[in-house]
Amino acid sequence: MTTIRDVAKKAGVSVATVSRFLNGSGYVSADAAKAVTEAVEELEYELNPVARSLNTKRSNLIGLILPDITNPFFPELARAVEDVALSYGYTVILCNSDEDPKKEKNYIESLKKKYIAGFIVTSNQLDAPHYANTKLPIVALDRAINEKVPVVSSNNKEGAILGTNALLERGCRNILFLRGPEALNPANDRHDGFMEAIGKAGADHRVVTCPFQYAESQKIAERELRNDPGIDGIFASSDVSAAGALKAAVLLGRKVPDDLQIVGFDGIAMGEMLSPGLSTVAQDVYKMGAIATRVLIKRIENKPVEESFYEIPVKLILRGTTRSVE
């Protein structure tokens, strides 16, 4: 392996000059620059990032902490993070936290020892005191940690209004809202949006808390549909819940979208595979990940960050679980 000393010798300069040239720090004459460039070329020198890390106490590692990559929401996020990180020369470390603060803390501490450059943290938990102490650059998705940590999230409230109105405009007068867990910021924002839209329209409605899990959602939807056969619309706070509701409706023999219309939230790929295809309020997950990563890298590189709150617009996608509006 060729080292910086080999390069220095070949170029007839000192290692300090080589290092300065390579880092663009300090003064280097044109002659020296040329000699170093040539030596690097000839020796096919490549800087050793570990040696560099050891004394700069920096690295190009980014930690991506998420509850579970298996959750259909996260792969696309991870993909975006990795794409952007790669394009800036960073490497992504995958951390499944299972929402367990202990696991999160372990990741943070063990990666800190590797001089990790920063973290992108996705969690459903509202608070996480152990992040507050961390001096490292962090960007959060969907949750506020403190004022100094930039947050990227979807325009959840607007999205819920969009979704609710889609049902109202298509004639729904008795809407079941499958809201997500109270502990989740986004779920609460969506709830606010739903209430606002439904309040304006003055339509009948019912709100039920429902985890973002398929089987459980199906069970809850079935119960609600049995209890109140008059329900003519379901707005679910996640596509997985919507899929459960759709399954329940089909099993109960409810005609979708003729008797019952359904709108989900998230826009995961599965939506189009269902029959009928799931209408949904789609988040631009890729964009969320990409922006979060760009913001993080700006922070890491001490470049100015314009804002500390980024709201990504959502988009209504209409498929077969809603009728066309007359």
Binding site for a copy of itself (CB under 8 A): 46-51, 53-54, 59, 64, 68-70, 72, 74-76, 78-79, 82-83, 91-96, 110-111, 113-115, 214, 240, 243-244, 246-247, 250, 269-270, 272-275
The entry of a copy of itself, DNA, none near residue 324 (CB within 5 to 8 angstroms by kind) is: none
For residue 302, state whether it binds DNA (rule: CB under 7 A).
no
Taking the complex as a whole, how short is the minimal distance between the CB of residue 300 and DNA, in angstroms? 15
Residue 3's binding partner, choosing from a copy of itself, DNA, none, with beta-carbon cut-off 5 to 8 A by kind? DNA
Query: Does residue 26 come out as left (phi exceeding 0), alpha (psi in the -120 to 50 range) or beta?
Result: left
Q: Please report how close the Cβ of residue 41 comes to a copy of itself at its closest, in angstroms.
A: 17
Say how far apart CA 40 and CA 61 lie, in whole Å: 25
Least separation in angstroms between CB 218 and a copy of itself: 9
Instruction: Tell me: does residue 16 bind DNA (CB under 7 A).
Output: yes
Applying the rule CB under 7 A, the residues between 18 and 57 that interact with DNA are 19-20, 22-23, 25-32, 45-48, 51-52, 54-56
Dihedral angle sign, alpha carbons of residues 40, 44, 45, 50: positive
Q: Name which of a copy of itself, DNA, none residue 88 binds, using a CB cut-off of 5 to 8 Å depending on partner kind.
A: none
3 binds DNA (CB under 7 A): yes
Tell me how far, at minimum, the Cβ of 59 lies from DNA, in Å. 12
Residues paired with residue 266 on neighbouring β-strands, in sequence order: 282
Q: Tell me the CA distances in angstroms from 167 to 11, 93, 95, 206, one per residue in order.
A: 72, 41, 38, 14
- Judged by beta carbon distances under 5 to 8 A according to partner kind, the member of DNA, a copy of itself, none in contact with residue 37 is none
Residues 53-92 that bind DNA (CB under 7 A): 54-56
Nearer to DNA among residue 14 and residue 125 (C-beta): 14
Cβ atoms within 10 A of the Cβ of 324, count? 7
Q: How far is residue 230 from each of residues 104, 151, 235, 245, measured CA to CA in Å? A: 45, 40, 15, 15
Half-sphere exposure in the Cβ direction for 272 (13 Å, CA)? 5
Q: Which of 177, 127, 183, 187 is nearest to 157 (CA)?
A: 187
311/314 Cα distance (integer angstroms): 9
Q: Which does 19 bind (CB under 5 to 8 A by kind): DNA, a copy of itself, none?
A: DNA
Maximum C-alpha span of the chain: 86
User: 240 vs 161, 178, 243, 270, CA distance in Å?
Assistant: 19, 11, 5, 9
Residues that bind DNA (CB under 7 A): 1-5, 12-17, 19-20, 22-23, 25-32, 45-48, 51-52, 54-56
